[in-house]
Amino acid sequence: MEAVFFYLFAAATLLCGFLVIANPFSRNPVTSAMFLVLTIVSLAGLFVLLHAFFLAAVQVLVYAGAVMVLFLFVIMLLDLQAEERRSFKKLALAGGGLAVVVIALLAHAAVRESPLGTAAPPMVEGSPRALGKLLFTEYLLPFEILSVLLLVAMVGVILLSRKEAK
């Protein structure tokens, strides 16, 4: 049962991820954004199969529910026609191909070093309570640094979007 769901979600993640960047039927950025949403939701499904319920819920809540809605908001307000007409650059295509080959080689090397086991997948996280305890004790410093990073980004956005007072 779990194996069926794993292959289902994994296939959905890969297929939707591919359609985000290279959709043969449509070059519309909104379509790409919607496939990215589907990719994120399928990833959340994979998290659920690892019993990482908190991570799955937050993945959907933050990425699919907030970040992608803002993406969509911006894409819709931009000029879509220009993006649809844009042609591929040969150098960029070659660079992308090279990146794919390198990542495939790395993955191959990793799997050869430590072969995939046959054991059941590990339970990635426990209760939300245990996760919260870890975040606020052992990983407090990285957690706080991340919040400061987000604050910096927020201040930067406000500064950039502020109209010059004359």
Partner 1 sequence: MAWFNQLDPTTQFVLLSAAKVVPVAMILLGLVAYTVLAERKICAAMQDRIGPNRAGPFGIWQPISDAVKAFFKEDFTPDHVRKVYFWLAPAIVMIPALLTIAVIPFGSQLGQQKMVIADLNVGVLYTFGIVSLGVYGIVLAGYAANSKYPFMGGIRASAQMISYEIAMGMSVIPVFLIVGDLNLSRVVGSQAGTVAWLPVLPNWTVFQSPMLALSFAIFLVAAFAETNRLPFDLPEAEQELAGGYNIEYSSIKFALFFMGEYANMIAASAMMVTLFFGGWTLPLFGLDAPATTLFGGLLHIGIFVGKVLVMLVIFIWVRWMWPRFRYDQLMDLGWKRMLPVALANIVVTAAWLWLRA
- Please report, as ranges, the residues that interact with partner 1 according to CB under 8 A: 1, 30, 34, 37, 44, 53-54, 57-58, 60-61, 64-66, 69-70, 72-73, 76-77, 127-128
Nearer to partner 1, 10 or 53 (CB): 53
Work out how close the CB of 125 gets to partner 1 at its nearest, in angstroms, rounded to a whole number: 10
Token pair recorded at residue 17 = 């991820």
Nearer to partner 1, 98 or 151 (CB): 151
Work out how close the CB of 1 gets to partner 1 at its nearest, in angstroms, rounded to a whole number: 5
Coil, helix or strand at residue 29: helix
CA pair distance 2, 10, nearest whole angstrom: 12
Helices 29-49 and 2-21, axial angle in degrees (round to 10): 160
Phi, psi of 122 (to 5 degrees): -70, 155
Nearer to partner 1, 10 or 48 (CB): 48
What's the one-letter identity of residue 61?
L
